[in-house]
Structure 1
Amino acid sequence: MPGGPRDLSADQLGAILTEIGEEMSEREDRGRVASYIPELAGVDPARFGMALALPDGQVLSTGDAAVGFSIQSVSKVFALAIALGRLGDQLWDRVGREPSGNPFNSILQLEHENGIPRNPFINAGAIVVTDAILTGHPPKALLGEILDFIRDAAGDENIHINEAVARSETETGHLNMALAHFIAAHGNLRNPVEMVLGAYFHQCAIEMSCVQLARAGRFLIAAPGAPRIVSLARVRRINALMLTCGHYDASGDFAYRVGLPGKSGVGGGILAVAPGRAAIAVWSPGLNARGNSALGSEAMEMLAKRTGWSVFG
C-alpha cells in the first residue's frame, strides 16, 4: 500500500477490515467445527468476526466481533506469560521451545523425548505449563489469576469461563488425559493429574469476543500506549514462540503466508500481533485439516498483504 504500513490511518484500517469481512461472508467452504468437543459441535460455522486493537486501545472491527466464543488454546499465551513471570527460564527445564511438526495432540514425540513436551503451545506442553503455575495454588485460585490477568490486559471485567464447555471437555478429553498420565509417568507433573487437567480444561473454556481478545493482546505489541503488564524481554520471547509454534504443524505455513506471531485455538479463534502496530483477533469456527480456523487463517493473510505488516520487513 502506498506510503507503507505505518502511514495507515484508523479509517484505512477499518475499511480493510470491512472488505475482508465482506469477502469472508461469501465463502462457501468454511471448514469443519471441532465436533470432538460436543459443546463446540453446535457452533454456527457461518459466524465470522475480526477486530484490530491499536496500542492506545482503539478497536476496529467487522462481522461478529462482539460475539463470545471459546478461545481454547489461545489461552495458552496468557498462561505462558504468567509462567514466565513466576518461573523465568526454569520453565524450560520441563518444556522445550522448538516447533513440533506434529498435530497439537500427538503423543508420539512425547514418548521419544521422555515426557518433555516440545513447546508450551502443543497440548502436552500447555498441560506442563498449567502444572507449573498450579503448584502451591488451589485450582480455583489459579483460574482466578488467569482470568484477572486477561481482564487486566483487556481492560474488561466481563470475561468468564464457559462452564458448559469446560464440562464438555472434562467428559470427553480422553487424549489429553492420556497425555497428562504419560507426562506424569515420566515425573514431569508435580500435581495430581485430575487437578492439573481440571485447571487446564477450565482455562481453555474461557470465553471472549474478538474485540476483547484483540484488546487483551495489546500487551504483546510493545508500543507506546500499549499495556506494560509484562517485561519487554518476556514479550519478545512469547512472540517468538507464537511465530514458530503457535499454529502447531502449520506454524511454518502461517509464518510464510502471514509473517506475524499468532496463536490459534480449536474454537476457531486466532490472536496475532503486529509488533509496534496492533493486536488482531479473528474468529471463524470452521477448522482446516491442521486444526486451525480455515477462514481465520485466510483473513489474517489478507490483512497482512493489504497492510504490509510483517515481522520480516
Structure 2
Amino acid sequence: MENIHSVLNGIYNKFADFEDKGQKATYIPELANVDENLFGVSLTTLNHGQINIGDAHQQFSVQSISKVLLLIMAYNVEGEKLWKRVDVEPSGAAFNSMILLELEKGIPRNPLINAGAIVIADIVFTHFKNPEDDFIKFVRRLTKDDSIDYDIKVFESEKSVGYRNYALINMMKSFGNITNTMDEVMDFYFKICSLSMNCAQLSKAFFFFANDGIDPFSKEVILTPGRNRRINAIMLLCGFYDEAGEFAYRVGLPGKSGVGGGILAILPNKYAVVVFSPKLNEKGNSYRGMAFLECLTTELSDSVF
C-alpha cells in the first residue's frame, strides 16, 4: 500500500503540469461549465485502503461510467436472456453511431454504447417499479453514502440536446427492441447519465469488480463470480467506445470512461482506480486520464495480460 501511495503521488505530480491537448465535452451545455483544470485520482485496494489525491472529492458528471452499474441491475434480473437484446461485441464506431444499429436490425453491439445502454434502461424500467429511485439506492448501497444523487442541471441539459439518442431509440423501437414508452425510457437513461459522484466514491462503488463480485466491506454478493468476469470482459472490450483496443494495449485493464472526464479501471484481485480530468481526446476519453493510467500500470507492472 505504501509503495502504491508513493508511486501514485509521483505520477500525479508528474501529470499535474501535463500538456493536456484535450477538449471538454461542450456538446452537453452544462459540461462546458466544468473547470477544465480539475485533476483527481482515487485508488481502493483489497486491504480496504483508499488513496485519494488532488481533486478526488470533487463531484463530477459520471456519464457513461454509470452504464456499468445499470447493466448489473439488468443482468441480475434477466440473466443470460439479456444477451438476446444486446450483443457483447466491440462496436468499432462512435458511442452514438446509428450505422451498425440499422444494419443489425436494432440489436446494439454492446451494453456500453448509447444504444445498448438505452436497451438496458428499457429492461430495468420493465422490472423495477421505481427505476430511478432503485438505481440511486443501489449506488448508495455500494458506496455506503446516501449523499449521492442525480445532477438535475446536467439531466436537463443533456435531454435538451439528446436528438441522436432519441433517433437511436426510435430506430430500436421500429425493430421491436424497446418495450416501454420511449419518453419514459429516455428520461431514465438521461437521469442515469447525470449521476454525480467523485473519484473516491466511484473507486469504492466499483471495487467489488476486483473482488470476484463481492463487496469486501459488507460481504454482499453484487455479482456472481461468473457474471463479474463477464462484465469485466465487456469493459475491457467495449468500455472505451472505438478506443477500447488502444486502452487495452496501453493500459491493459478493464474499465469504463465517461464524457464527464472520468475513467474507471479494475485490476482483479488488487484494486479499482478512478481518474478525473475533464478534457477529452477525439474519441471522447479523458486525454490526461488515459496517459496517467498508462504510466501507472507501466510503473507498477500491472495488467490483466
Residue correspondence of structure 1 range 298-309 to structure 2 within 5 A: 298-309=291-302
CA deviations on 1:126-166 (whole Å, 9 max, x unpaired) are: 0000001101435xx11222112211112222211001000
Aligned residue in 1 for 2:197 = 208
Counterpart residue identity of residue 110, structure 2: N
Aligned residue in 1 for 2:222 = 229
Aligned residue in 1 for 2:105 = 114
Residue correspondence of structure 1 range 153-302 to structure 2 within 5 A: 153-222=142-211, 225=216, 227=219, 228-302=221-295
Cα drift, residue 234 of structure 1: 1.3
Of 43, 47, 51, the residue aligned with 1:52 is 43
Computed over aligned residues only, the root mean square deviation of the Cα atoms, in angstroms, reads 1.2
- SS of equivalent residue, structure 1 residue 135: helix
The TM-score, its normalising length taken from structure 2, stands at 0.96
Percentage of pairs with the same residue: 44
**1:71 is the counterpart of 2:96:** no
Cα drift, residue 55 of structure 1: 2.2
Hey, what's the Cα distance between the residues in 2 that align with 1:123 and 1:83? 15
Cα drift, residue 68 of structure 1: 0.5
CA deviations on 1:57-90 (whole Å, 9 max, x unpaired) are: 3210211001010000000110111111000111
Hey, what's the Cα distance between the residues in 2 that align with 1:49 and 1:92? 35
CA deviations on 1:21-61 (whole Å, 9 max, x unpaired) are: 21221112241110000000111111110100012432102
Task: Indicate if the aligned counterparts of 1:162 and 1:205 stay in contact, CA closer than 8 A.
Answer: yes
Aligned residue in 2 for 1:311 = 304
Unaligned runs of 5+ in 1: 1-9
Task: Indicate if the aligned counterparts of 2:77 and 2:127 stay in contact, CA closer than 8 A.
Answer: no
Hey, what's the Cα distance between the residues in 2 that align with 1:53 and 1:30? 28
Task: Indicate if the aligned counterparts of 2:128 and 2:134 stay in contact, CA closer than 8 A.
Answer: no
Cα drift, residue 217 of structure 1: 0.7
Cα drift, residue 230 of structure 1: 1.8
Cα drift, residue 280 of structure 1: 0.6
Cα drift, residue 14 of structure 1: 1.1
- SS of equivalent residue, structure 2 residue 139: helix
Unaligned runs of 5+ in 2: none
Counterpart residue identity of residue 278, structure 1: Y
The TM-score, its normalising length taken from structure 1, stands at 0.94
Hey, what's the Cα distance between the residues in 2 that align with 1:56 and 1:198? 39
- SS of equivalent residue, structure 2 residue 266: strand
Residues 136 and 235 of structure 1: CA distance in aligned 2, closer, same or farther (over 3 Å): closer
- SS of equivalent residue, structure 2 residue 259: coil
Task: Count residues with an aligned counterpart.
Answer: 301
